[in-house]
Structure 1
Amino acid sequence: MSHAVMRRAVAAVSGAALAVLGLGVGVASAAPGSVTWDDGSERITRTISDVTPAAGDIITSTTAFDRTGGVVEYIQQVKDIHPPCLTYVEGSAKVDGSPRGLDSQGADFAKVAGSWALYPHISPNLRTFEFSYKVGADCARGVPLMTTVHYSGTLGSGTYDGKGPTVSVSETATTTALTVPATANVGAAVELKATVAPAAAGGTVQFKDGAANIGGPVTLNAGVATLSHTFDAAGAKSITAVYSGGAGFTGSTSAAATVTVSVPDAATTTTLTVPATANVGAAVELKATVAPAAAAGTVQFKDGVANIGGPVTLNAGVATLSHTFDAAGAKSITAVYSGGAGFTGSTSAAASVTVSVADVATSTQLTVPATANVGAAVELKATVAPAAAAGTVQFKDGAANIGGPVVVNGGVATLSHTFDAAGAKSITAVYSGGAGFTGSTSAAATVTVSVADVATSTQLTVPATAFVGAPAELKATVSPAPAGGTVQFKNGDLALGAPVNVVDGKAVLSHTFAAAGSHAISAVFSGAPGFLGSTSAVQSVSVPVPDVVTSIVLTAPATADRGVVVEFSAVVSPTPNGGTVQFKDGSTPIGGPVNVVDGKAKLSHTFDSPGAHSISATYSGFAGFSGAGSQASTVTVAGAGGGSVGSSQFGS
């Protein structure tokens, strides 16, 4: 290690041979630079492929180690030092021409590591290490930027600050292109435009007319500078654009461009006056007014691209033409002033003339009801003749519109309208007219509007069922309750009795149905002063066929012994086809119901307690037969007796 330190000390003071090539700013081609120094038995040569690069260029740093004597040394690390504005190109590191991955890198260095033998006098006695970098736009221009190398090996390490070569980034050359119009008029603004390449160049452009500045410097925006300029004298103008240069960019001047400036004719305007509409075969006036009024020459009127007649001579700035259109349609009319001595030509804005066949006269007839109620809609109807007339009808109440215009369909326009106030209303219908048809207004018609009677509703209440010969109540309730009026109850279309007066909103009828069946009952309120009549919904009353009245006769013994079977029998008249008989001891059923067979029912029963027992029989009734109950019979039961207690039932 002491030998390596000794070598480094010698290197620091040796001032070995130095060669720096091509450091001038703005050199168009690559200018490599080299520096060589000795450190003990090591000769080190560093070469930069281009020491005057431009921003964006790729440059390569090559360091060669040449062993000139001594013993073999193994190089272990080489650290290439570069300005921070240079960016290492990934994968560019090479050792002896072969790619080598980096061991590490930082903002200002790239380092490789390994073990490379370096022999004196025999191969390999020379090792080269390459690193490539991209020159950043942030590099200072025209300023020497230092590069160097550090390395370490088996014989020591070397830190060579300030060895070089230095790199001076050159300014980027620019070009300036000028765009101007070939001609211009005195007093009329034109645009002067300069485009500087590359577009990233900053700074200003000075436009010039010969040697004289045109305005002040114009700041570049994305490589472009524009200036609106008005020439104040006629003649040929030699225009240039001078780019000032900017940070990292050289200045440049455009080629000269000639602008021929002339005194212009006085501008004119032409105003066209035409009617908005015209009829086929009817003459109308077309009028053109040219300003200034001193302008002489002619005006050509046009329908689209077709001339209307010949040119008309201006008189005090005005040209008029009487013209008759021979076909219907929308006509686009213009007036073209030819121009004259000292005056430019001009064309009016197009004006549309709608040419139609003469309209047909129409008549409008109004149909309205003679009377109406407040709040009740009525129909207003207008009939326009001829029926082919299109357009709209506006109905009116006096001078006031009723709603909006109504489209005419087949010559008819109808409107449903509800008057909101009583009184005599003077109604008219105004037809707007339409394509080919004149407008017209109907004669006025009077509608007498009154406050309407109040609507009522009638609710019917009836029993769901009734019986022949038995009175049933029919009840009608009128809402709101009127002061008067009657209700007629009906069975279908047949009136039930006379109309019944409504009292406090109600009418009641007691009615006896004479026949069985389903009866459709309704109630019709007659109406009353200020109240409209109304009819209830139909209600159904079912009147069944009446049952045959039956009677039942009970037969029971007058006495019985406790525990001894006795028989009860019941006979139903007239004889029914079914049903049951329930025998009872007081209110207590004796066994279950006994079927009636041929009008008879029997029950065997054993009393289990002595005393007087009130026996009865109740017939249940059956289809077409009413139920019935017998008279009670008393059976006196003595305490003696034997046998089982209970009853058995049967019919006979």
Structure 2
Amino acid sequence: MVGRGLRRIVGGISVFALAGGFATTVGIGSAAAASESVSWSNASTKITRTVSDTTASVGQIIEVKTKFERSGSLEIIREVWDYHPSCWEFVDSNKSNPRVESDYTKVSGSWNVWPNISPNSQTFTFEYRVTEDCARDTQLTTGMGYASGLRTGDFRTKGPNVTVAKNNSTTSLATVPGPVPTGVPVTLTATVTGGAQGDPVDFYDEGTKIGSGQLNSSGVATYEWTPPEAGTRSLQAKFPSTAKAKSSQSGTQDVTVTDVATSLEVSAPGTAITGEPVELTAAVSPVEAQGTVQFFDGGAPVGDPVEVVGGAAVLSHAFAAAGEYSVSAEFTGALGFTNTSAAPVAVAVADVVTALEVEAPSTADTGDPVELTAQVSPTDAPGTVQFFDGDVAIGDPVEVAEGAAALAHTFTAAGEHAVSAEFTGAPGFTNATAMPVTVAVADPDVVTSLEVSSPGTAVAGEPVELTAQISPADAVGTVQFFAGHVAIGEPVEVADGAASVSHTFAAGGEYGISAAFVGAPGFTNASAAPVPVTVSDVSSVAITSSPSATADVPFTLRAEVMPADAAGTVQFFESGLKIGDPVEVVDGVAELVYTFNSAGPHEIHVVYSGGPGVEGATSQVQVLEVAASGGMGTGSLGSLGL
């Protein structure tokens, strides 16, 4: 736009009455625009630069003019640069087609400036709007540059400099409806003009800061205020000065704060048992009330005051004696809450009903102590138990512990005895009587002992005698013999203190022989420690070599042992004389190479030595016919082959 009128915004002071509160506006004052110019020469060219207002405000339109004048020859201006703060926003220029950049505006053309004829000057005008991005109370630099047919000039910091004033602000505090209850949060709301989102607003009570809030995008800040005590409070909101805005504050607002009225109700079970805890409860309204509750039994305090939590106070209490009780409570409120009391409720307290049961063995021996026991219910009932034999007290009363009382007692006479008991309860517990139980008492049985005996070794298949000796010798009863845990035959009647049985072991091995005595009435049972018996298997040995041989020719004598896995040695004999050394049995066979030196019949037999778990054995005599080798023999027994 060429030749247009220029505009600017002038600040002022105003006072607003906002709905629901008061606001005070602090302005920069009413004054004319502070226009400023600066001039200088570049050779024969005089340059004058004028800024319409060097103390600007946000939103204001700033007009910048640069005037060229000549005192020499003609100068043709080709380009002009107008340098400005980057926080200014371009609005208009008196030259067409300006090039707008963040910190300068450039125009290009051909403008003549004559020293003495028209046009003898050229003026370049630019308008900018001041934005929120500008720093406040800080000098912002302006300047220009140009290029002509004669020369160029760079004066980008020549000025005039501009200072942007802080924003005016207003602060209002919304009306707080009263009265306000003590301890109940109330939202304080402040509205600020001239501030920015995130700026702080401080809230005050009687000149004391109570908290802060931050402005939102609508210029509103809030704070949750909880009045600490009753009375009239003077509230105010204050917006402190920021980098871009001036401070302001609301008017004060008086708010009445009152204590919160409370009520109390006590509850307790209608009945209770002495010594058993019950729960006393007091419900406080409102539930957020703070304080303590003191419970009472009649006019006597019950325990210590109980802190109220979640609108309730609970106390566990055990009544010491039976009777009618009146339970009440009093609430002492914390700061901000009134005191209150609850109407009493009745509690009927009775003693704990007990039961008693006596236990004793059904039989007993004279002279032997037995345990008499009484079980008391409930198990926590304290008191004593007196035991009786018929109507006669047995010993002294016994203290009950964990629901039981026990007494060791020795009956001195045989017969049937009726054992009973009586429980005397401690305060708070009833007495109780147990039904009698019968104990059949007899004189004690004669104590017996038993010892078993048997041979230390035996051969499988051959009978041995097992014997048990009972003491005393006149004991009557039976004896059962055992091999390990296996019974041997039937029980054997005891005669003259002894019992015996003939037993044949079926197989070899190690056996533990024991016995158990079952006494007839009047005699105790008894058992005997086991005795070991080593049983060997039966073996056999036979000559299995050929029945004929030839003199002076080596001959193999052969013997077979049964069982085939038996270990040991075999000794060969001729006519009762040993032939060589004993031969080791291998896989049930023993062999010996022997040369007979004479012809005729030879009597051969062998003897098996026996081995682990196997008895030794002797073969039958075998007559071996030895034939002549073609000549007469020497008559000697023979020789072993090598």
Same fold (TM over 0.5): no
* TM-score, normalised via structure 2 length: 0.36
Q: TM-score, normalised by structure 1?
A: 0.35
- The structure with the largest strand share of the pair is 2
